[in-house]
Amino acid sequence: MEPEGKYHLVGPEEPIKAQVGSNVVLPCFVKPAVDMRGAVVEWIFNSSKTVHLFRNEADDRESQDNRYKDRTYLNHAMLEHGNVSLKLSKVTKNDAGIYTCFVQRLPDLSEKINVTLIVVDGKENENPDGHYEGKYLNN
């Protein structure tokens, strides 16, 4: 059991796969579940570009990299359940890479996790050992 007041981030253990043109959810959760509406939630691409920033209980679009304008969605209703997952729409090949979910909720949480996104063009339904990877494709 977690000590009182101690929270941590949980994300996927495997890379997330998405097809070009589809929508994908990059999972990130606070455990145990706690209201994150007053927190700072920042998603960063390859350690440099701000994909999405939520602070002061609202989305901060000014700091968002132009590549992601009108393509990201953080479900505010789910924030109160510790769900800080990000939806990315109209996925492109250039979206492949490492996304960092950084969450700060003082005094008891300041942590980040990485989520790797692999983008396939729709013809690449098999990985090298021949297993179908359809369960990771989000349409």
pLDDT 10s digits, 85-125: 999 999 999 999 999 999 999 888 999 999 999 999 876 44
Q: Which residue range forms the structural domain that includes residue 121?
A: 8-127
Is position 81 within any domain?
yes
* pLDDT of amino acid 136: 40
For the chain, the domain total comes to 1
> Above 80 in pLDDT, residue 70?
yes
pTM of full prediction above 0.75: yes
Provide the CATH number for the domain around residue 54. Answer: 2.60.40.10
Is position 137 within any domain?
no
Mean pLDDT, all residues of the chain: 88
Is position 119 within any domain?
yes
* DSSP secondary structure letter of residue 98: E
Burial 11-30 (b: 16+ CB within 10 A, else e): bbeeebbbbbebebbbbbbb
Tokens coding 19 = 């097809």
